[in-house]
Structures are given as C-alpha cells and as structure tokens.
C-alpha cells in the first residue's frame, strides 16, 4: 500500500506545469528540457545514449536535438571514436535556461514550504533528502531493486 498516495509525483507534476508555462517563452517543451538535462549532465553524449537513458525513440531524440541545435541550446562535434555519430554539448544558452528553470522551481517550492512551521520544514527537508539519496543510489546502480520488484510483480510493504 502506497502511504504517500503518489503525492510526491503529484506535487512534481504541478510544479512542472507551472514551470513549463513560465518558461514557454523560451520555446522549449518538457521533452526538450529532459533531453537538455541529460546532455548537460553528460557532456559529449551521443543521441543514441540520450535515447537509451530517457527511454525515448531514437527518431524523437533526433528531432528534439535538431530543434535544440536550431534554437541554439546545443552544439554537435565529431565523434573521434565513431564517424557516424556526433557528440552533443549544451551551450551557454542552455545553461542559462537551466538556471531559469531552477529559479522557477525554487520559487515554487519555497512558496509551498511557507505553509509549514520552521521545525516542520527542517524535518521534512531532512526526510526528503533521505528519500532522495536512496532514490539516487538506486538510479546510479541502474535500478536493480526496482527491476527485481517489477519482475516479481508484487508490491512490497515494509513493516
């Protein structure tokens, strides 16, 4: 039983809606944000690797990277290891966009936390960090526990 009732996801979805609306003037969609994020975190990544990491169709990633390049958010360079592929790098314009997105999200979360008393804010932030660290470790390990649980087809309840 999910005690959270997926509220973390629901909050993130609402923040995302507001962020997308706020940044729409930059001409970037949510999928393009995701692609740019992967490229910023992995300079010199190929389109194929972006596709794999995001679980997106190669054609969709090709269209998105072409759009992002045309808008000035990324640049390509030759891949010395493979003449057929290009290495992708975020531009300073993409870095500025990331800062803008982070700024919007930060303001939203600060507003949201204003509804809590200071001790509750600190406790919530500490608990959230614990969950984030666990999530990040699972992700970096390529999701072995979650993959196992999904293959078993059962929900695990911790006592």
DSSP per-residue codes, 80-144: TT-TT-EEEEE-HHHHHHHHHHHHHHHHHHHHHHTTS-HHHHHHHHHHHHHHHHHHHHHHHTTSH
CA 87 to each of CA 35, 44, 50: distance values in angstroms, whole numbers, following the listed order: 14, 5, 11
pLDDT reported for residue 82 = 84
pLDDT band of 155, cuts 50, 70, 90: low
Q: How far apart are CA 45 and CA 129, in angstroms?
A: 28
Give tens-digit pLDDT for 96-130: 887 788 889 999 999 999 999 999 999 999 999 99
Q: How far apart are CA 51 and CA 62, in angstroms?
A: 9
Q: How far apart are CA 54 and CA 61, in angstroms?
A: 9
Whether the predicted pLDDT of 159 surpasses 60: no
Pairing of strands 86-90, 74-78: antiparallel
Whether the predicted pLDDT of 70 surpasses 50: yes
Contact present, 48 and 56 (Cβ < 8 Å)? no
């Amino acid at each position: 039983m999910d005690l959270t009732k997926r509220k973390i996801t629901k909050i993130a979805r609402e923040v995302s809606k507001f962020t997308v609306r706020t940044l729409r003037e930059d001409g970037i969609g949510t999928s393009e944000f995701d692609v740019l994020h992967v490229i910023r975190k992995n300079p010199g990544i190929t389109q194929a690797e972006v596709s794999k990491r995001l679980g997106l169709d190669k054609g969709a990633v090709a269209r998105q990277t072409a759009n992002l390049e045309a808008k000035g958010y990324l640049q390509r360079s030759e891949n010395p290891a493979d003449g057929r592929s290009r290495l992708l790098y975020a531009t300073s314009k993409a870095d500025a966009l990331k800062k803008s997105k982070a700024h919007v999200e930060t303001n939203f979360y600060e507003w949201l936390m204003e509804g809590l008393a200071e001790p509750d804010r600190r406790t919530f932030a500490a608990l959230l960090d614990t969950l984030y660290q666990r999530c990040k470790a699972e992700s970096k390990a390529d999701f072995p526990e979650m993959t196992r649980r999904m293959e078993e087809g059962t929900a695990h309840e911790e006592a």
